[in-house]
């Protein structure tokens, strides 16, 4: 299964300006926020994670018929290496046995994009 998403970075910036920590803590984990605060472009980093979470949501629903929430998907970065995703729902961990979840994320000045594959 595959999922893809693109988001305009300005959209995430405006959500942060409007809703602040309430938005950040509803969408992102503390580890995601910690990683993005260390990056050159905080908003682009968060936008890329937003796109990745959307892509994972789509692929996950196609494969399992389960709707995840953003807070149940954690996108971990390791500068220069592919991102890794953790699904933070213990009740469905058994579904993840024997499958691989791959993601690729990218961002530039105006947009962030991500693709997710479940094999």
Second-level CATH architecture of 2-118: Alpha-Beta Complex (3.90)
For residue range 69-117, what is the model confidence (pLDDT) as tens digits? 999 999 998 877 889 999 999 999 899 899 999 999 999 889 999 999 9
DSSP assignment string, 47-88:
HHHHHHHHHHHHHHHHHH--PPPGGGEEEEEETTEEEEEEE-
Confidence (pTM): 0.94
For residue range 6-29, what is the model confidence (pLDDT) as tens digits? 999 999 999 999 999 999 999 999
Alpha-carbon distance 50 to 103, whole Å? 12
Output the six-digit token pair for 61.
Answer: 């629903």
What are the domain boundaries of the chain?
A: 2-118
């Amino acid at each position: 299964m595959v999922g893809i998403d693109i988001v305009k970075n300005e959209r995430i910036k405006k959500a942060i300006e409007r809703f602040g920590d309430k938005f950040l803590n509803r969408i992102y984990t503390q580890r995601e926020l910690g990683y993005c605060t260390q990056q050159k472009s905080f908003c682009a980093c968060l936008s890329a994670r937003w796109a990745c979470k959307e892509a994972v949501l789509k692929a996950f629903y196609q494969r399992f018929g389960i709707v995840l929430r953003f807070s149940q998907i954690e996108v971990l970065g390791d500068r220069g290496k592919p991102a890794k995703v953790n699904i933070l729902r213990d009740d469905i961990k058994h579904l993840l046995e024997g499958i691989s979840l791959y993601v690729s994320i990218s961002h530039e000045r105006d947009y962030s994009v991500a693709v997710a594959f479940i094999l």
